[in-house]
Amino acid sequence: MLDFRSEANSALNNAKAELEANDNKKLKYAALELRIAIEALAYDKAKTLADELPIKEYETWQPRKLMLILLEIDPNINKISSVSFGEEKEFGVPPDDKDMHFLGTEQPITFEDIKKHYDALGSFLHMPTLGQLQKESVPNYCKLKERCNLVIGILEKILSSPVFNLNIDCSSSVSCGNCNATIRRRLPIGLEKVEAHCLECEATYLVSYTGQESAVDWAPLGKYVSCPNQEANCKEKYFLFKNEIKTGVQWKCKGCGCDVYIGFGTFLKNKA
Ligand SMILES: [Zn+2]
Ligand SMILES: [Zn+2]
């Protein structure tokens, strides 16, 4: 697979070269390269979590949208983290700080970096609209140069991190009650409960610590609904996962054999 980090590095170098030309007409090429570098860094993070990323999100190209999905999987991927290691003199007892060897600190690309700069750089890559021309908000090369330099500083810091894509994975897994596929969910440190989705059928579960050591409980999220076939006095009940509760979803009732579907309805809250 493509080495996104080295792609980001080369896009960053290209951006610097465009800026060094000191030609306003070349600034937009610097902005374009910086956007590519940001994309590459976001995709690099996605690669780290690829096993937990729903397949359909592999098509997500907008870095901001992608980062939000990744943060849902692991909120720690945006945090600055350091790695140290040390030998336990006694099994299970962490070594003293003085016996730890420091490996380095990772400065990751963050959602905030992307939100602040990705679209702002993009706004210089298009022809101004009639509305912008009316408001005289035409490209300001001085501002663009300033922003490019700011983004270069951020990317240099990220790309010079001696350790990167740290992946501390504390997770739990079960067999999906709906389709039998294995669902794995990270349990980020500090969170009592998280939602988990089956990558096959999208069924949703709530995973929470039970309070007993590191045991967790998986509870399907959804609702029981009754068969609406009152004529046949059908008593069949179904569990619908949260993602299935939407108009148009249909199934065959096992009790009376009727086709049942979810539709819109209006109800009186109180009579006038
Ligand atoms: Zn499933
Ligand atoms: Zn029925």
Same domain, 154 and 202: no
Q: Would you state the structure tokens that stand for residue 46, as one six-digit string?
A: 């996605």
In angstroms, what is the span from residue 202 Cα to ligand 1's centroid? 6
Higher pLDDT, 223 or 52: 223
* pLDDT for 222: 95
Same domain, 47 and 106: yes
Same domain, 121 and 250: no
Give the confidence band of 258 by pLDDT, cuts at 50, 70, 90: very high
Position 91 pLDDT exceeds 90: no
Position 145 pLDDT exceeds 90: yes
Shortest-distance ligand to the CA of residue 258: 2
* pLDDT for 241: 93
In angstroms, what is the span from residue 158 Cα to ligand 2's centroid? 59
Position 213 pLDDT exceeds 80: no
Shortest-distance ligand to the CA of residue 198: 1
Q: Read off the pLDDT of residues 98-129 as tens digits, 9 standing for 90 and up.
A: 889 999 999 999 999 999 999 999 988 888 88
In angstroms, what is the span from residue 195 Cα to ligand 2's centroid? 31
* pLDDT for 18: 95
What is the spatial distance between Cα 44 and Cα 218, in angstroms, rounded to a whole number?
A: 30
Q: Would you state the structure tokens that stand for residue 66, as one six-digit string?
A: 């992608």
Instruction: Answer with the one of 109, 124, 159 that is the final residue of a domain.
Output: 159
Q: Read off the pLDDT of residues 61-83 as tens digits, 9 standing for 90 and up.
A: 999 999 999 988 888 889 898 99
Same domain, 153 and 199: no
Same domain, 9 and 73: yes
Shortest-distance ligand to the CA of residue 253: 2
Please give the average per-residue pLDDT across 239-262, as a whole number.
93
Give the confidence band of 135 by pLDDT, cuts at 50, 70, 90: confident
* pLDDT for 126: 85
Q: Read off the pLDDT of residues 14-56 as tens digits, 9 standing for 90 and up.
A: 999 999 998 888 999 999 999 999 999 999 999 998 888 888 8
Shortest-distance ligand to the CA of residue 225: 2
Same domain, 178 and 99: no
In angstroms, what is the span from residue 240 Cα to ligand 2's centroid? 15
Shortest-distance ligand to the CA of residue 241: 1
Instruction: Answer with the one of 138, 159, 180 that is the final residue of a domain.
Output: 159
DSSP letters spanning 175-194: E-TTT--EEEEE--TT-SEE
Same domain, 155 and 181: no
Burial code (b: 16+ CB inside 10 Å, e: under 16) for 82-101 equals eeeeeeeeeeeeeeeeeeee
* pLDDT for 55: 82
Report how many domains make up the chain.
3
Report pTM. Answer: 0.78
Same domain, 135 and 208: no
Residue 110 belongs to domain spanning: 4-159
Position 248 pLDDT exceeds 80: yes
Q: Say how many CA atoms lie within 13 Å of 174 toward its Cβ.
A: 18
Position 171 pLDDT exceeds 90: no
In angstroms, what is the span from residue 11 Cα to ligand 2's centroid? 60
In angstroms, what is the span from residue 114 Cα to ligand 1's centroid? 32
- Measured CA angle at 27 (ends 23, 28), to 5 deg: 140
Position 138 pLDDT exceeds 80: no
Shortest-distance ligand to the CA of residue 234: 2
Q: Read off the pLDDT of residues 176-190 as tens digits, 9 standing for 90 and up.
A: 999 999 998 988 877
In angstroms, what is the span from residue 199 Cα to ligand 2's centroid? 30
Same domain, 8 and 108: yes
In angstroms, what is the span from residue 56 Cα to ligand 1's centroid? 15
In angstroms, what is the span from residue 229 Cα to ligand 2's centroid? 5
In angstroms, what is the span from residue 180 Cα to ligand 1's centroid? 6
Shortest-distance ligand to the CA of residue 177: 1
Would residue 87 count as lying in a domain?
yes
Would residue 268 count as lying in a domain?
no
Shortest-distance ligand to the CA of residue 243: 1
